[in-house]
Amino acid sequence: MKSTKSNKLFLKAKKFIPGGVNSPVRAFKSVGTTPRFIEHAKGAYLWDVDGNKYIDYIGSWGPMILGHSHPSILKAINKKAKHGTSFGAPTELEVKIAELITKMVPSIEMLRMVNSGTEATMSAIRLARAYTGKDKIIKFDGCYHGHADSFLIKAGSGAATFGTPDSPGVTKSTAADTLNATFNNIDSVNKIINDHKFEIAAIIVEPVVGNMGCIPPKPGFLEALRAICTKQKIILIFDEVMTGFRVSAEGAQELYGIKPDLTTLGKIIGGGLPVGAYGGRREIMKLVAPNGPMYQAGTLSGNPLAMAAGFEMLSILNKNKSIYKHLEQSSKQIEEGFKDNFKKLNLNFVINRVGSMFTLFFTNNEVTDADSARMSDTNLFGIYFRAMLENGIYLPPSQYEAAFVSTEHTEILIDKTIRANFKSLKAVLHATK
């Protein structure tokens, strides 16, 4: 496929935008090619500026669960835009979407709208510290909760240790308050808590990891986290920015039957527009200003266009919960098709899937945490990604990101995807000979 215009735009962009992109993974650097600049999207398809057409499995990194340019969502945005795009004042829609979210997710009794997932997680951590009076948090190696300083912390040589900054600009004092545990390893959590008695304000976790590829929780892991947090008076935060309303109508907490103290949301609740939210138990949320002393604000929070898109999206999902059964069937078809291709080609690669999220890992080992994910062959993934792109399939340009299925991925498109997967795996085999 030609990429002449995209290449020219990328060269120009690099003069004015760091790396030529406004989010690092978009640069396609880790997959050995250059980004395709997108012109428009509809349903399950993307078209780039060179006229190439792709079946899209990014879906704007998750929110396009109903496909691109859904007519009723576009109608809601256009209708609202005619009355103004931003007021810096409350609107009725903010109340309606907050009420709808609390009905759909029982653990959320009150919530605050923000502008991004990063804002949501950052605010939830601050709130947990304010509520508990404690400073330290536990996160899991490989889980991504946005780019706030507290989250850009990597683990040291041990499985559970004091963090060190993972990015210049993050201070050592900030890093010292973030402790890293191993996902799916409850012993690593217990060790941290025993080493830092009465110091832990919160444990934050992606209940289904999407940011080191799709990694589900082992049976009993989330239940154990809930029990520990209850016993130790630690706030349990589910980062459902990605999984919220994606893996089920109530998110991962419904899927696994766990009730967190706080939940962070994003992606789907904006219907494709920038938005985030954090919410949970009323007694905790009452600490947020102007009700309480924990300060958090945002000029564009509750933006009317985002609220219109999000309310329409959530209303559709709430009224048509059979959507999730359809998504499960479609996603299972992809998983089984890929596994059949592995068998035909005598390959031992791994595919992880939860609902309409999935990742193909180029490793022979089970992928359950960050260390096992890092054993994947990223060079092979790069070859595979480029081959899939040539075959008209647009995947996340990183081994460590989840792909997403929408309601617009029909059986015909899924069959095309499975055939493209077979061709691309053959290209991987050829390149390794």
Residues 21 and 135 in one domain: no
CATH of the domain at 260: 3.40.640.10
Distances (CA, A) of 31 to 34, 164, 377: 8, 27, 11
Residues 51 and 10 in one domain: yes
Mean pLDDT, to the nearest integer, of 409-432? 96
pLDDT in tens, 29-88: 999 999 999 999 999 999 999 999 999 999 999 999 999 999 999 999 999 999 999 999
Contact 226, 257 (CB under 8 A): no
Residue 333 pLDDT grade (very low, low, confident, very high; cuts 50, 70, 90): very high
Q: How far apart are CA 216 and CA 219, in angstroms?
A: 9
Residue 271 has pLDDT above 90, yes or no: yes
Residues 141 and 249 in one domain: yes
pLDDT, the chain, mean:
95
Q: What is the pLDDT of residue 174?
A: 84
Question: Among this protein's residues, is 239 annotated catalytic?
Answer: yes
In terms of Cβ atoms closer than 10 Å to its own Cβ (0-12, 13-18, 19+), residue 399 is: buried
Residues 173 and 207 in one domain: yes
Q: Which residue has the tokens 């390794």?
A: 432
Q: What is the pLDDT of residue 314?
A: 98
Q: How far apart are CA 349 and CA 339, in angstroms?
A: 9
pLDDT in tens, 125-168: 999 999 999 999 999 999 999 988 888 876 433 333 345 567 78
Domain that holds residue 312: 71-319
Q: What is the pLDDT of residue 157?
A: 30
Residue 339 has pLDDT above 90, yes or no: yes
Question: Among this protein's residues, is 267 annotated catalytic?
Answer: yes
Structural domains of the chain, count? 2
Residues 110 and 135 in one domain: yes
Active-site residue among 267, 278, 369, 400? Answer: 267
pLDDT in tens, 175-187: 889 999 999 999 9
CATH of the domain at 424: 3.90.1150.10
Q: What is the pLDDT of residue 149?
A: 84
The beta-carbon contacts of 316-323 under 8 Å, at least 24 apart in sequence, are 316/66, 316/72, 317/65, 317/245, 317/249, 317/268, 318/100, 318/103, 318/104, 318/249, 321/249, 323/65, 323/66, 323/407
Residues 348 and 404 in one domain: yes
Residue 279 has pLDDT above 60, yes or no: yes
Q: What is the pLDDT of residue 160?
A: 33
Active-site residue among 45, 54, 57, 144? Answer: 144
Tokens standing for residue 13 = 């962009």
- Among 274, 295, 319, identify where a domain stops: 319
Residues 11 and 110 in one domain: no
Contact 411, 73 (CB under 8 A): no
Residues 152 and 196 in one domain: yes
Mean pLDDT, to the nearest integer, of 422-432? 94
Q: What is the pLDDT of residue 423?
A: 98
Which one-letter DSSP state was computed for residue 34?
A: -
Residues 60 and 97 in one domain: no
- Among 300, 319, 338, identify where a domain stops: 319
Active-site residue among 239, 324, 384, 394? Answer: 239
Residue 426 has pLDDT above 90, yes or no: yes
- Among 319, 337, 372, identify where a domain stops: 319
Residue 222 sits at φ, ψ, to 5 deg, of -65, -35
Residues 199 and 87 in one domain: yes
Q: What is the pTM of this model?
A: 0.95
Residues 234 and 270 in one domain: yes
Q: What is the pLDDT of residue 262?
A: 98
Residues 23 and 37 in one domain: yes
